[in-house]
């Protein structure tokens, strides 16, 4: 199986305040590109997907269940489903993230 190449110009724009584009969606996997402008923050929310965040550009702050994490370009973090979380971009350049969401239960640390 294959799909044609997708970019932010051809991907589906997600209906959230931030710039977010859905690149791929399969039964239990989604791949999203998310952008937060300088000073922007997401609403605190709970997601029923396991998520891997990979910082493509910039740096930002992720809070998960009250614990804070500072991530910069080239770093990633995984967050379990059902955890309250939000991103903020306190920096002076855009924060761009690759977001990989899965509902599979057999994803684990290596």
With a CB cutoff of 8 Å and minimum separation 6, the contacts of 106 are: none
- Of all residues in the chain, the percent with pLDDT exceeding 90 is 61
Query: What is the reported pTM?
Result: 0.85
What are the tens digits of pLDDT across the range 51-70? 999 999 999 999 999 999 99
* CB atoms inside a 10 Å sphere around CB 99: 19
Q: d(Cα 97, Cα 21) in Å, to the nearest integer?
A: 11
pLDDT-based confidence at residue 110 (cuts at 50, 70, 90):
very low
Q: Walk me through the domains of the chain, giving residue ranges and CATH numbers.
A: 12-102 (2.60.120.10)
* 11-37 pLDDT per residue, tens: 788 888 888 888 888 888 999 999 999
């Amino acid at each position: 199986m294959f799909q044609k190449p997708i970019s932010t110009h051809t991907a589906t724009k997600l209906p959230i305040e931030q710039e977010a584009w859905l690149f791929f969606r399969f039964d239990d996997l989604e791949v999203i590109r998310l952008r937060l402008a300088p000073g922007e923050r997401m609403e605190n929310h709970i997601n029923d997907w396991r998520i891997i965040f990979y910082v493509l550009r910039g740096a930002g702050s992720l809070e998960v269940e009250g614990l804070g994490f500072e991530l910069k370009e080239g770093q990633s973090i995984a967050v379990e489903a059902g955890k309250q979380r939000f991103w903020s971009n306190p920096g002076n350049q855009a924060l761009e993230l690759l977001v990989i969401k899965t509902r599979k239960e057999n994803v684990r640390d290596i």
